[in-house]
Structure 1
Amino acid sequence: MHDDATRPARRGDEQPGRRLWIDAAAGVAGDMLLGALVDAGASLETIQAGVDAVIPGAVRLTQTEVERAGMRATKVDVTSLVPDPPHRHWTEIRRLLSQARLPGAATRRATAVFARIAEAEARAHGVDVEQVHFHEVGAWDSIADVVGVCVALEALGVHTITAGPVALGSGTVRAAHGEMPVPVPAVLELARGWQVRAGGQGELATPTGMALVVALAEACEPLPDLVPAAVGVGAGTRDVPERPNVVRVVVGTQTSPTERVVLLEANVDDLDPRLWPGVLAGLMSDGALDAWLTPIVMKKGRPAHTLAVLAAPDRADHLMARAFALVPTLGVRRSTLDRAALERTWRTVEVDGVPVRVKIGTRAGAIASVTPEFDDVARAARDLGEPERSVLARTIASADAAGYRVGRALE
């Protein structure tokens, strides 16, 4: 653990592009990932406060330094403070999370994790998702693990999360439903679309651990290009001589100012062209980062368009559903990209007393682009009774006169 990671980052002062990579090559469980984040510098006191906000007075968290197959690691233990702690339904856990005051994105992240578990359990056992009654994953310790991890991510100032392939294990394990094969059904359901391997004997990935990975990580990838700021190693309970029973995390900054985005694409040849402006406007209002059309020629010489939608990873599923609803397509392609984007801000200038907003893009504090907001230009042109091109030119001149020009520092 690096000393510069011991201070929990505040949301306003963390480094841009701060990201986390999870190494689950030896498996993953909730307490292992929590231990790794504590080892990387997340404050256990802050995490305890977050858990207490959801299940007050129910558990106590403690950390110890241990060895696993010769590797140093941090072990976080969750001790119950109440006799016979209850197992809970998904609906109750969702209510507890919604009522808690957790920092930043912790509530959203924790809710997403438990939602993935509920969906996997429902499918594995053939019940409605609202009727899922958690056993192992609904107990106090798993709630502490999930909430603790999500609070720890906020404490470390993590914006982007990715993870490597996950080892699931093999053999059998005894659970609430009796002896079950490894990977257990819920883990296999959660692993859909993720790269996995057996990795060894026994249960190496628990439902809680697998849900934390697939619900929070944006992609399965090898260690990305970054500058490490902290490394954390979290220990599981067992100490297997031939394999360190640990999860590792790397917290750092990207070597280039990029962000992960999702590109959705669909070919459409049978939509009334008059509907396209509304489709693009609707996708933008639903949270798309961008949306556009590209003319193409399909089979048999049919003229058509490719609809492209750029989305933040947490909006991609919603925007894919909106695309299916808005256009007559049988399929939507999905790919993950890295996007470099300028930092953006707005300034207002005046043209004959009429305010017009100007979008300014900066890189390393210097202005890289200056673009008038065209809706404001059109409104100003109507108010002034002038052509739009004239008002556009005068807005650019006003911005330049105000010092908003490429190459200058933005004050």
Structure 2
Amino acid sequence: MNINLHFDCLSGISGDMTLGALIDLGVDPDLIRTGLASLNVADLKLHVDDVKKCGFRATHIRVEHPEQKAHRHLHHIEAMIDAADAISDGAKTLARRIFQCIGEAEAKVHGCDLRKVHFHEVGAVDSIADIVGVAIAIDALGIDSVTSSAIPTGTGSITIDHGRVAVPAPATVEILTGVPLAYCEIESELTTPTGAAIIKTLASSFGPAPAMTPHRVGYGAGTRDLPGQANVLRVTMGQLPEAASDPGQIETDRVTLLETNIDDATAEQLADVTERLMRAGALDVWQTPCVMKKGRLASVVSVLCGGSKAATMQSILFQHTSTIGIRRQILERAKLARQAVEIETAYGPAQGKVVTLPDGEKRFSLEDDEAKRLSRSSGKSTAEMQREAVLAWSQQQPE
């Protein structure tokens, strides 16, 4: 049986929302309290309450402790965790990984050595309690994998120890590099550095919920009330089907699709713009014949790219075609996990990629440029080179 947790972060994610959702899933609050007490923070209390957000019940977490002004370094927090005798080794390891994630982001944002990073807001006792509490809860649940929706960060600005900054805060956006973000116009900090580090550390993939049989659902409440939606984090615990027992084999991301209709370009001109788009970083470019108004024959030029490349692709289309309008869509994409490999062939080393299918089977393909290179040196066709490379790869696999 493979148990997965899926985080639905419609209203963002924070440490207290995560801990509340995990307790709502069934983790004993007293287990968390016992672990937190062993951190030896004086008068630390964990309050667990049922609340309603926009009419929906959820678990709200509040950490009570005397006010503290101290700014901690990473090694101070790690020492607290290591000395806690009521926390399992697995939970300690996870808590340290989450704090390491935050520390590396803070070090980059502030341009300093990791050992010299001051944990300001995240070094506060309530954030330490949230992170350590989440680590204890995850360890107690004994889950096998974690997936998550795309992450909304909110908009606007907030005030932190370093002054007023745009949302998401600098550390949050640094932590979330490589993580798909969800569009959101709500003027509030929906995702905190603590929440970002928790989900970045836990989740193996981001996107729609995987196919699974739900067992339990937990809801963790944020403190603020949001306009038009419940400020809650939903975490679903369920069993993955056997064929999807490793969700890391199927990765998800978000891409941009640009499309425009061209009715006055030659094939050579379209080939030129395709080459320019690919050189600039497009994931793929293709053309589809179409019939426009008044019976005009045309081609739909489609460009698939990462969101950060969309403006560049758009500029190339406007500059090197006659288009006066470009359609844009944001798409969720599922793709097989892949790995670049080098194999030995009868004609020398060659580069290819290996993808892992949902059932765990692996498949190799030779890169097209490599097939052409080997074809030129061997005198054989590219198709023959592909077949020989697949055979060479299969023979080089361990039994």
TM-score, with normalisation over the residues of structure 2? 0.64
Report Cα offsets for 1:137-185 as digits up to 9, x if no partner. Answer: 0111111000101111122222211110111010010111111111111
Structure 1 residues 204 and 270, CA gap change in structure 2 (3 angstroms)? same
Correspondence 1:46 to 2:119 = no
Correspondence 1:260 to 2:247 = yes
1:94 equivalent in structure 2: 78
CA drift of 1:295 comes to: 8.0
2:88 equivalent in structure 1: 103
Structure 1 residues 143 and 201, CA gap change in structure 2 (3 angstroms)? same
Report Cα offsets for 1:300-327 as digits up to 9, x if no partner. Answer: 216897999xxxxxxxxxxxxxxxxxxx
Structure 1 residues 261 and 206, CA gap change in structure 2 (3 angstroms)? closer
Q: Where do 1:6-405 residues align within 5 Å? A: 16-80=1-65, 82-84=66-68, 86-101=70-85, 102-103=87-88, 105-196=90-181, 197-256=183-242, 258-261=245-248, 265-268=339-342, 298-301=371-374
Report Cα offsets for 1:216-273 as digits up to 9, x if no partner. Answer: 1111021111111111111111122412111110011113361234655224378999
Structure 1 residues 128 and 295, CA gap change in structure 2 (3 angstroms)? same
Structure 1 residues 261 and 172, CA gap change in structure 2 (3 angstroms)? closer
Structure 1 residues 78 and 268, CA gap change in structure 2 (3 angstroms)? same
Structure 1 residues 85 and 157, CA gap change in structure 2 (3 angstroms)? farther
CA drift of 1:191 comes to: 1.2
Structure 1 residues 224 and 272, CA gap change in structure 2 (3 angstroms)? same
Report Cα offsets for 1:348-389 as digits up to 9, x if no partner. Answer: xxxxxxxxxxxxxxxxxxxxxxxxxx9xxxxxxxxxxxxxxx
SS of the residue aligned with 2:20? helix
In 1, the alpha carbon distance for the partners of 2:166 and 2:127 equals 21
1:378 equivalent in structure 2: none
CA drift of 1:202 comes to: 1.1
Task: Say whether the 8 Å CA contact 1:43–1:155 is kept in structure 2.
Answer: no
Give the number of equivalent residue pairs. Answer: 282
CA drift of 1:293 comes to: 8.7
SS of the residue aligned with 1:72? strand
CA drift of 1:198 comes to: 3.0
In 1, the alpha carbon distance for the partners of 2:207 and 2:73 equals 33
Structure 2 counterpart of 1:33, one-letter code: T
SS of the residue aligned with 1:73? strand
Structure 1 residues 104 and 291, CA gap change in structure 2 (3 angstroms)? farther
Task: Say whether the 8 Å CA contact 1:104–1:154 is kept in structure 2.
Answer: no
Structure 1 residues 163 and 104, CA gap change in structure 2 (3 angstroms)? farther
TM-score, with normalisation over the residues of structure 1? 0.62
CA drift of 1:199 comes to: 4.5
Question: Which consecutive residues of structure 2, in runs of 5 or more, have no partner in the other structure?
Answer: 250-336, 350-359, 378-384, 394-398
2:326 equivalent in structure 1: none
Task: Say whether the 8 Å CA contact 1:26–1:199 is kept in structure 2.
Answer: no
In 1, the alpha carbon distance for the partners of 2:61 and 2:247 equals 31
SS of the residue aligned with 1:115? helix
Structure 1 counterpart of 2:212, one-letter code: L
Structure 1 residues 71 and 261, CA gap change in structure 2 (3 angstroms)? closer
In 1, the alpha carbon distance for the partners of 2:175 and 2:20 equals 22
Structure 1 residues 260 and 70, CA gap change in structure 2 (3 angstroms)? same
